[in-house]
Structure 1
Amino acid sequence: MTLTAWLSLLAICCLGAMSPGPSLAVVLKQTVTNSRRHGLAASWFHAAGVGLWAFATISGLAILVAESQFAFQVITWLGAGYLAWIGVKAIRAGKQSAFGVNEGKKVSIFTAGIEGAAISVLNPKLAIFFIALFSQFVSPDATFADHMIMTATAALVDGLWYTLMVFLLSHGPILKTLQKRSQLVNRLTGGILIALAARVVTL
């Protein structure tokens, strides 16, 4: 892969990672409710899920998902159900328990990571995105190293972007403001997640 091609791939991956959506809401939730480490776990487990979709696309597995209406619908509905479940938990959370976590009780870092991974793994639209993206860069003479570079680029860009978000949110007045308004943030986040779930199943 040439440097020019890789820079083009990098730019598109950056734009994809920066697109607002449920992933940012989950990272925000874990950072504000629990800790920076929880937010980082959600970020990098999410990035691992992105990496899986990227690898699956390159190896041809994502094409099967995209072309199989049944498989696509199953993953879509699972993803929408998961988003709705998180959204309901957030709305029902009290002022003292942000984002559905009971007062004084924090989830494990591993649980935060699994939540981040689920948001990406249960998102079949990533398959469509990577099919459209990698079709511009995969060629018959591409080596295994080229494929791994593309996969690593997608995963690292995603993880680094949300890591940046975690550090921005976990410092200074931003975090304090979010914590003071945790109930409002809960309800807004929950509403966004439920709206996204509804949008997924109605498209």
Structure 2
Amino acid sequence: MDIATWLSLVAVCVMGAISPGPSLAVIIRVSVSQSALHGVLSAITHGLGIGFWAFLTLQGLAILMNKYQDVFALLTVLGGCYLAWLGVKAWRYAGQGKEAQAEGVPSSYWGAARDGLMVSLMNPKIALFFLALFSQLIPSNMDALIKLQLWATVFVVDTGWYVLVALLLAGGPVLAWLRRHIVWVDRGMGSILILLGLKVIVGTLFP
């Protein structure tokens, strides 16, 4: 792959990663309500989920998903339900992450990792994004090395961005303000996730 094509791929992946959406909401909530380490762990597993979709797309699964629209629609609805469930959970446990830290009770690293992974895995539209991207930038005669380069680029860009988000929230006046208002931060992020989930479900069932 030539350098111009690779830089184009990086630019598109960066724009996709930094665009506001459910992934950003989840990483911010985990980082603020628990810790920067939880946020970093969530970012890494989110990158693995994105990398999973990129890998399957490179193997041609997205073409099959596009052909079998019913399967794609079912996965999309399930993804919307998961986003809404995350939002409900954020409302139900609003502020409790801060209380657990104040009491010296370690928050669940597994839960942070799970939320980061699942918010990416439960979004099959990512596969179509990569299908459109790869079909425009990548030659049809890809070898294993090019596929590895593509996967590594996608994983590093996505993980790097969300790790940066988690670390930027690790200190300073922004984090202090957010933690003073953690209940409303949780509820705000929860509302965003619920609305996004409902939008996905309604948009899929009633196009």
User: Is structure 2 residue 25 aligned with structure 1 residue 29?
Assistant: no
Structure 1: how far apart are the matches of 2:35 and 2:22?
19
Q: Which runs of 5+ in 2 are unaligned?
A: none
Which residue in 2 is equivalent to 1:143?
Answer: 143
Amino acid at match of 1:68: Y
Which residue in 1 is equivalent to 2:200?
Answer: 200
User: Is structure 2 residue 44 aligned with structure 1 residue 12?
Assistant: no
* 1:161 to partner: Cα distance: 0.3
Which residue in 2 is equivalent to 1:61?
Answer: 61
Amino acid at match of 2:41: A
Q: Secondary structure at the match of 1:135?
A: helix
| Mean CA deviation greater in 136-145 or 52-61 | 136-145
Which residue in 1 is equivalent to 2:156?
Answer: 156
| Paired residues of 2:34 and 2:101 also in contact (CA < 8 A) | no
Which residue in 1 is equivalent to 2:96?
Answer: 97
* 1:164 to partner: Cα distance: 0.7
| Paired residues of 1:93 and 1:100 also in contact (CA < 8 A) | no
Amino acid at match of 1:126: I
Closer, same or farther: CA 130–97 of 1 in aligned 2, 3 Å: same
Q: Deviations over 1:8-28 (max 9, x none)?
A: 100000000011011111111
Q: CA RMSD in A?
A: 1.9
Q: Deviations over 1:109-140 (max 9, x none)?
A: 12211110000011011011001000012323
Q: Deviations over 1:163-194 (max 9, x none)?
A: 11011111111111111001111111011000
| Paired residues of 1:99 and 1:186 also in contact (CA < 8 A) | no
Which residue in 2 is equivalent to 1:46?
Answer: 46
Structure 2: how far apart are the matches of 1:166 and 1:106?
18
* 1:101 to partner: Cα distance: 7.4
Closer, same or farther: CA 74–102 of 1 in aligned 2, 3 Å: farther
Instruction: Give the paired residue count.
Output: 202
* 1:107 to partner: Cα distance: 3.5
Q: Secondary structure at the match of 1:165?
A: helix
Structure 2: how far apart are the matches of 1:92 and 1:106?
19
Which residue in 1 is equivalent to 2:81?
Answer: 81
Closer, same or farther: CA 39–16 of 1 in aligned 2, 3 Å: same
Closer, same or farther: CA 167–131 of 1 in aligned 2, 3 Å: same
Closer, same or farther: CA 46–7 of 1 in aligned 2, 3 Å: same
Amino acid at match of 1:97: Q
Amino acid at match of 2:73: Q
* 1:46 to partner: Cα distance: 0.3
The alignment-based identity, stated in percent, is 41
